[in-house]
Amino acid sequence: MQLLPSSDREHRCQYLISLGNSLREAGIRTKGADIQKFLGESAAAYREALTVYTKDQLPQDWAATQNNLGATLRDQGPRTWGEAGKGQAITAYELALEVRTRDTLSVQWEQTMSNLKIAKNAREEMK
């Protein structure tokens, strides 16, 4: 993930988000041990992007990245982490909702709320 210097914030984040998206898709579509590898690397890419897309400086990008991280953790949960992964996914969605409010970003709020409900339901099914 060191292909772009950390000083090139805009391009570095675009790269990390694209990388996270691609690795998540690979994790969903693959089988076996590679699932954990791809989804883990996807989560790592999103987490690194969150160090560049901060809530204070770029709140909407930060919230979108939290939502993407939540989706990856939700996908990873049943495959590798179990309930702990679901809890982390829920936390990521809840963080995204700090920015994606019903009043300011209603479409994104609705999307994140839907994802949050799916993650919470999946966690309940695991109990």
Give the residue extent of every domain in the chain: 9-126
Check whether 104 has a pLDDT greater than 60.
yes
Check whether 79 has a pLDDT greater than 60.
no
pLDDT of residue 103: 96
pLDDT of residue 3: 62
pLDDT of residue 84: 61
Selected residue with higher pLDDT from 54 and 126: 54
- 47-60 per-position pLDDT tens digit: 999 998 899 999 99
Check whether 12 has a pLDDT greater than 60.
yes
Domain 9-126 has CATH 1.25.40.10: yes
What is the rounded distance in angstroms from the CA atom of residue 82 to the CA atom of residue 110? 25
pLDDT of residue 87: 84
pLDDT of residue 80: 55
pLDDT of residue 78: 60
What is the rounded distance in angstroms from the CA atom of residue 84 to the CA atom of residue 87? 5
pLDDT of residue 83: 58
| Averaged pLDDT of the chain | 87
